[in-house]
Structure 1
Amino acid sequence: MAKIALDLERALVRRARDAAAGTTEPRTLARGRGWEVADVLCTCGPGDHAFEEHHEAFCIALVAAGAFEYRSETGRALMTPGAVMLGHAGECFECGHRHRAGDRCIAFRYRPEYFERLFADAGGAGPAPAFGAARIEPSQALAPFVAAASTGATAASGLDRLPGLAWDEMAQALAIRVVRLTGIVPRTDAKRVAPAALARVIETVRQIEARPDGEFGLDTLAEDAGLSPYHFLRTFERATGVTPHQYVLRSRLRAAAQRLADAPGKIVDVAFDCGFADLSNFNRAFRAEFGIAPRAYRARWQS
């Protein structure tokens, strides 16, 4: 059983042992300007009364474990692992567990003004409409998001410590994928990067290469480039072939490799100086990038 489902089963066992009422426990994983991600573990079951709630923000919740019934103004749907629960700001909804206890979701929430801007940046016209559906069934298009978010929720320090993906980038990419799957934004396959935007990407690359250990969140990079976060993410990836987070990671790894090859010092100090928060994450990322452990890499160059 996957760890994210195993954690839910353990919570249900504790609830039964203590004869406690079912609860919904959200745990914030990450947040930015206008968005947040929460790991929501629910131990409610058939004996617990369902009550009406309302979405305070646009919600895209990835169902990671368990099953429940979802009723909203848009419709009714059974939520199962791999499905995506949808809700728009101000919408009333109800979740029930008439037949089975417990579920766990990774919920991405977007403030209305932030989602409106994202909707417009993605090509939408006018105010962002409701999604038009209560659920997106388990699909190949969204499976990578469910898997990555589930892994991030159970990682010791969150997805920002896993190579290749960051919560801020995932929040952007997930929202765009969902609005296109639901048809409220038309898909465009234009690949050209405008010269002015390309110049801004080049300047961003220069900043990262000059100080790879710096703090380079998506919002900060986009603001420095004078672009909206969505346009910056799309433009940067088209121009460089990787996301900003992936580029920063590889820049840090290159800097670390150079330090290991030509300078003395402890490997842990090299990792911290190059922007990594812990040694185990550095070792995993380094091996994945160069196919060899940092210590062996240094020995190869200094032998």
Structure 2
Amino acid sequence: MTTSEQKLASGPDWYVSDVVCTAGAGDRPFEEEHRSVCIAAVTSGSFRYRTSQGTAMLAPGAVLLGNVGACYECGHEHGAGDRCLSFHFAPAYLDRIANDVPGAGKLAFGVPHLPPLPALTSLLAESEAARETADIDAFEELGLRIAAAALAVGGAALAVAGEAAPAARPPSRRDQKRVAEAVRQIELNADRPVSLSELAGSTATSPYHFLRTFRQVAGMTPYQFLLRTRLHRAAVRLRMSDEAISAIAFEAGFNDLSTFNRRFRRVMGETPGDYRARRSGSASPSPSAFAAF
């Protein structure tokens, strides 16, 4: 077996896997079938991908596109091994995303891949970082953003051909109210995993519409707001108590101490221990500190 797949996270109608292939030039290409819509980011290695949409040589930064039910073949005649972060969606789930993406193309991909694009670079880097740090809570949101980006590229192609994509409308009062309700829900449940689907369901909107609206209104994604809330509460407790840092991290909702330390230092500019040592300062971090998100 030249391919291994580890499921990293999943939810209703979606999942994401870390796929590693060790095939080389001496191995015969293998043919499989996409059992769901697939959007896979190549993070290392290269391979030839052939499907009904065409044939492409994929290298790091490229995005593989697979239609449900389509047969495909991968070959490594030009190099050994590759690794992909592979997002899978039920067609109905992706269709709901497409309905909320201005200028999105048809659900069925007409090309086999997207080349490395500047618009995707930051998003793919976030996804790879989430894989390397086992940040499984981030993947639902990342999957939606990657799917929307892939669909939007199709819309951009139409605009180049002369069909202008419709502009995104500003959030309505109703949308603003929905975001406010979601913010309260996140604040009430910040110490436990909060699903994007759960938040969207409570506002009676699709996950992608909710994500887009939340970013417009709040200036950050729901997951970023959740992290901000957890870090703020942890910072306050570090100032006000002598409780062990690990206990504060776990009670704030972080699954492990290393993740907490890394995120705290990135946002606050110092370790939790150093932050606690400066108790003569203010009792809570300045809101501007969270601009690092």
Q: TM-score range by the shorter chain?
A: 0.7 to 0.9
Q: Where does 1:190-229 land on structure 2 (aligned, <5 Å)? A: 190-229=168-207
Q: Against the structure 1 CA distance between its residues 262 and 188, is the aligned structure 2 distance closer, same or farther, given a 3 Å change threshold? A: farther
Q: Give the counterpart of 1:176 among 127, 148, 151.
A: 148
- 3-state DSSP class of the match of 2:64? strand
Quick one: distance in 2 between partners of 1:297 and 1:187?
A: 48
CA contact (8 A) 1:191 1:238 kept: no
Find the counterpart in structure 2 of residue 249 from structure 1. Answer: 227
- Give 1:128 shift: 4.3
Quick one: distance in 2 between partners of 1:187 and 1:278?
A: 44
Find the counterpart in structure 2 of residue 56 from structure 1. Answer: 35
Q: Percent identity?
A: 43
CA contact (8 A) 1:149 1:159 kept: no
**Deviations for 1:255-287, whole angstroms, at most 9, x for unmatched residues?**
111111223311111111111111111111112
Find the counterpart in structure 1 of residue 16 from structure 2. Answer: 37
- 3-state DSSP class of the match of 1:212? coil
Find the counterpart in structure 2 of residue 263 from structure 1. Answer: 241
CA contact (8 A) 1:39 1:104 kept: yes
CA contact (8 A) 1:260 1:294 kept: yes
Q: Give the counterpart of 1:99 among 74, 78, 84.
A: 78
CA contact (8 A) 1:212 1:255 kept: no
Q: Give the counterpart of 1:240 among 218, 243, 250.
A: 218
**Deviations for 1:63-114, whole angstroms, at most 9, x for unmatched residues?**
1111111110010111111111111111111111123221111111111121
Is 1:276 paired with 2:248? Answer: no
Quick one: distance in 1 between partners of 2:278 and 2:32?
A: 60
Quick one: distance in 1 between partners of 2:86 and 2:257?
A: 30
Quick one: distance in 2 between partners of 1:143 and 1:71?
A: 24
CA contact (8 A) 1:56 1:90 kept: yes
- 3-state DSSP class of the match of 2:73? strand
**Deviations for 1:111-163, whole angstroms, at most 9, x for unmatched residues?**
112112222232579x94321111111111112233222333333xx1337xx
Q: Against the structure 1 CA distance between its residues 211 and 129, is the aligned structure 2 distance closer, same or farther, given a 3 Å change threshold? A: closer
What code does the residue aligned with 2:114 have?
I
Q: TM-score, normalised by structure 2?
A: 0.87
What code does the residue aligned with 1:148 have?
E
Quick one: distance in 2 between partners of 1:188 and 1:275?
A: 40
Find the counterpart in structure 1 of residue 119 from structure 2. Answer: 141
What code does the residue aligned with 2:142 have?
M
Q: Against the structure 1 CA distance between its residues 187 and 231, is the aligned structure 2 distance closer, same or farther, given a 3 Å change threshold? A: same
Quick one: distance in 2 between partners of 1:159 and 1:38?
A: 13
Quick one: distance in 2 between partners of 1:187 and 1:244?
A: 26
Find the counterpart in structure 2 of residue 14 from structure 1. Answer: none
Structure 2 residues without counterparts, runs of 5 or longer: 159-163, 282-293
- 3-state DSSP class of the match of 2:229? helix
- 3-state DSSP class of the match of 1:52? strand
Quick one: distance in 2 between partners of 1:146 and 1:243?
A: 16
Q: After the TM superposition, which of the residue ranges 182-191 and 243-252 deviates more from structure 2?
A: 182-191
- Give 1:206 shift: 1.6
What code does the residue aligned with 2:135 have?
L
Q: Provide the aligned length of Structure 1 versus Structure 2.
A: 275
What is the RMSD computed on CA atoms of the aligned residues? 2.1
Quick one: distance in 2 between partners of 1:261 and 1:181?
A: 47
- Give 1:188 shift: 4.2
Is 1:132 paired with 2:110? Answer: yes
